[in-house]
Structure 1
Amino acid sequence: MQFGIFTVGDVTTDPTTGRTPTEHERIKATVAIALKAEEVGLDVFATGEHHNPPFVPSSPTTLLGHIAARTENLILSTSTTLITTNDPVKIAEDYAVLQHLAEGRVDLMMGRGNTGPVYPWFGKDIRHGIPLAIENYALLHKLWREDVVDWEGKFRTPLQSFTATPRPLDGVPPFVWHGSIRSTEIAEQAAYYGDGFFHNNIFWPMSHTRKMVELYRERYAHYGHGTPEQAIVGLGGQVFMRKNSQDAIAEFRPYFDNAPVYGHGPSLEDFTEQTPLTVGSPQEVIERTLGFREAVGDYQRQLFLMDHAGLPLKTVLEQLDILGEEVVPVLRKEFARLRPAGVPETAPLHPAVTARTKEA
C-alpha cells in the first residue's frame, strides 16, 4: 500500500491571523512539505496543476524536478495533469525528462481539471472535454510506446514519423492514473488501457465512490487485464489531527469555515459525516481510512490533502509528523494483513525503483 499526500497549491489567507502568504512563500512551503513527507516515511508526493489565482502549481514538472533532486525515495506524481489542455507531445517529453532525472520515481495522473476558463486560455473548448481527454491520452500512450509515430486526430495537427525525446527511462513509460470524480468515461478509459483509476473523493459520499470504483473494476476485468480485485485503485482524502478530537475540531474549524473550496457551506460536522474529511484523533483517522477499504475493496494508493485552506506551514509539518509516526504505520500493517493473495499491494513501480528497493 502506498501512502502519500497531494497539494492543490492554493494561496489562502490564514483566517486566524489575516495573513496571506506570497506566491514565493507558498512555492517554497510546498517543497518543504514534500521533503517532510519523505522524512516521515511517506511514499508519494503529488501536485495539482492550475493556471489561475489563487493557485501556484502551474508547472508541475519544474516543481517535481526540484523535489526529485532533493529526495531519494519519494514517488513524484501529479493530481492531476491536464490531459485536455496540454499538448500530449509536450507531456510525453516533459515527464520523460522528469522520469530520467528522478531515476524512475515518477508516475502521473491524468484529469480534465475543475476550472472551466482554462480551456480557452489554451485554445480549447470545454464542450470537448471528454473527447479531448480520450484522444489526447490515446496519442500520449502511443508516443511513449512507439519510437516513430504517425498520427491524425480531431484536435491537433497530424504527426508524421515523429519521435518524442527523450524516450522513457529503460523503455518503460511512467505508470498512469486516470483521475475522475464523476465521469464514467474516464473510469472506462482507465480500464481499457489497464491503467490505474484514482477517485479523489474529497467532496463526495463513499456510496458514490463505491459505484465509480466498481464500474472501473468491472471494465478492467472485461478488457482482460485481470480480475476486478486486481485493478489498480487510488483514493483521496483529507484529515486534520490532534491528540484528542475536541482540540482538532476547535483548531480546524476556522480554516474549514473560510476555505475557498468548501467554506460558507455545510457545517464542519455535516461535511465530515457526508465525505471522507476526518477531523479528530489519529485513531479516528485510522478507523475512517480502514473504512474506505470496506467500501471499495483492497486498493493500492491513499493520498491525503493536508496543506490547504490557509493552514500555516508549521501546522502542516506537525500534521505530517502525526501522519507518518502514528497513522501510516498502523494502516500499513492493517492493509497488509487484510489483503488477499493475488491482489497487488501497490501501484506498479518502474523497474529502476524496484531494483533500488531490493538492493536497500
Structure 2
Amino acid sequence: MEFGIGMFGDLTFDNSKGAFQSPQERLKEMVEQVKLAEEIGIDSFVLGEHHRPDYAVSSPEIVLAALSTVTNKIKLASGVTVLSSADPVKVYQDFTTIDLLSEGRAEIVAGRGSFTESFPLYGYNLSDYNELFEEKLNLLLQLNEEEIINWEGKFRAPLRNQTLYPRPEEKLPVWIAVGGTPESVYRAARLGLPIIFAIIGGMPKQFKPMIDFYKEQYEKHGHDMSKMQVAVHSHSFISESMEHLTENYFPYYAAQMDRIGSQRGWPKYSQMQFLGGMSPEGALYMGEAEAVTEKIINTIEMFGLTRFVAHIDVGGPKHKDLMKAIELYGTKVIPEVKKALSL
C-alpha cells in the first residue's frame, strides 16, 4: 500500500489585487512542498497537465525532471499525461530522461483528460478523442516493450526500424487514469495495466462496481493477480480544525469549482456541497486528521487499494496552509491508516 499526493499547480488568486500569483512563485512553492512530502515519508507525487490561466503546469515532464534532482526516494508521476494530444515517442523519451535522472522513480499515468484545451493547441480534433487515445496508448506500450519499433497508425507517421535513445534501465510503469467509464476500465484490465480512479464527486461507493469489474476482467484476461494495482485519486485537504478549513480553504476551493463550472454549466458551488462532500459518504477527503484517516481506511478496505493519492492543491490554497496539510497527511493520517490496516 502506497500513499501519494497530487497537484495540478493551481495558482492562488489574490482578491485584493484581482490577479493570480505568478507561475514562477507557484513552481518554487511546489518544489518546497514535494521536498517536504519526501522528508515525511510520502511515497509518490502525481502532477497534472493543463493549458489554462489558473494553472502553473503545462509541462509536467519538465517539473518532474527538476524535482528528480532535489529528491531521492519519492516516485514521480504524471497525473495525467493527456496522451490523446501528445506524441507517445516524445512522452516516452521525456519519462525515460526523468527515470534516468531519478534512478528509476518515474511513472507515466496516461489518460484522455477531462480538460480539452490541449487538443486545439496541438492541432488535434476533439471528434477523434477516443481513437487518438487508443492508437497512442498502443504505441506507447509498444515503445515500452520493444527496442526496435515497427509501427503504423492513422494519426502520425509510421515508424520503421526505429529505436529510441537513451533507453531506461527497466521498463517504465504505465498507469491508466479513468473517470469511471466502462470502456476505459475494460481497456486497462484487458491490457493488464495498473488503474487509478479519479473520484472527485458523488459517493466513492458508487465506484465499487467499476473496480470490481476491473478486477474481474483483469483476471479473466489472464494477468497475474499478485501484480494488480488499483488506486484512487481524490480531492483532499487536512487542517487542524474544521473552522480553519471552512474559513481559510473553502473560499479557494469554491472559487476554482466555480471557474471550471462556469464553462461546464455547473451551479454555483456552495458550502453545503463542501460540507456534504466531507461527510462519511462523500468524495472529499478533507477535514481534521482523524476524520480523513477514517475515510481513507474505509476506502482502502472497500476497494482493496494498493495506492491512495490525496490531491491537495485544488483552488490554490496559500503555501503555508498547503505545507501544513502535507505535514498532517504525512505525520498524522498515513501512520494511523497504516496502523489500523497493519501495513
Q: Name the TM-score, length of structure 1 as normaliser.
A: 0.86
| Of 229, 244, 249, the match for 1:252 | 249
Q: Secondary structure at the match of 2:50?
A: coil
Cα shift at 1:261: 4.3
- State the match for 1:26 in structure 2: 26
Instruction: Find the aligned partners of 1:94 and 1:52 in 2 and give their Cα distance.
Output: 22
Q: For structure 1, which segment, 75-84 or 269-278, has the greater mean C-alpha deviation from structure 2 after superposition?
A: 269-278
Q: Secondary structure at the match of 1:168?
A: coil
Map residues 1-360 of structure 1 onto 2, 5 A cutoff: 1-14=1-14, 20-169=20-169, 172-227=170-225, 231-259=228-256, 260-261=259-260, 264-266=268-270, 267=272, 268-273=274-279, 275-296=282-303, 298-336=304-342
- State the match for 2:264 in structure 1: none
Cα shift at 1:230: 5.7
Q: Secondary structure at the match of 1:236?
A: strand
- Contact 2:278-2:287 at 8 Å conserved across structures: no
CA-atom RMSD, angstroms? 2.1
Q: How many residues align?
A: 333
Q: Secondary structure at the match of 2:341?
A: helix
Q: For structure 1, which segment, 239-248 or 31-40, has the greater mean C-alpha deviation from structure 2 after superposition?
A: 239-248
Identify if the C-alpha distance between structure 1 residues 208 and 77 changes in structure 2 by more than 3 Å, giving closer, same or farther: same
Identify if the C-alpha distance between structure 1 residues 230 and 90 changes in structure 2 by more than 3 Å, giving closer, same or farther: closer
Deviations 1:75-128 (A, max 9, x none): 001100111011111111111111111100111200111222321221211122
- Contact 1:85-1:122 at 8 Å conserved across structures: yes
Q: Secondary structure at the match of 2:278?
A: helix
Identify if the C-alpha distance between structure 1 residues 149 and 279 changes in structure 2 by more than 3 Å, giving closer, same or farther: closer
Q: For structure 1, which segment, 92-101 or 327-336, has the greater mean C-alpha deviation from structure 2 after superposition?
A: 327-336
| Structure 2: gaps of 5 or more residues | 262-266
Cα shift at 1:55: 1.5
Instruction: Find the aligned partners of 1:232 and 1:241 in 2 and give their Cα distance.
Output: 26
- Contact 2:9-2:316 at 8 Å conserved across structures: no
Q: Secondary structure at the match of 2:124?
A: coil
Identify if the C-alpha distance between structure 1 residues 5 and 30 changes in structure 2 by more than 3 Å, giving closer, same or farther: same
| Structure 1: gaps of 5 or more residues | 338-360
Instruction: Find the aligned partners of 2:8 and 2:135 in 1 and give their Cα distance.
Output: 26
Q: Name the TM-score, length of structure 2 as normaliser.
A: 0.90
Instruction: Find the aligned partners of 1:190 and 1:180 in 2 and give their Cα distance.
Output: 9
- Contact 1:81-1:108 at 8 Å conserved across structures: yes
Identify if the C-alpha distance between structure 1 residues 256 and 144 changes in structure 2 by more than 3 Å, giving closer, same or farther: closer
Letter aligned with residue 236 of structure 1: H
Q: For structure 1, which segment, 229-238 or 19-28, has the greater mean C-alpha deviation from structure 2 after superposition?
A: 229-238
Q: Secondary structure at the match of 1:77?
A: strand
Q: Secondary structure at the match of 1:124?
A: coil
Amino-acid identity (%):
28
Instruction: Find the aligned partners of 2:201 and 2:173 in 1 and give their Cα distance.
Output: 26
Cα shift at 1:159: 0.9
Letter aligned with residue 282 of structure 1: A
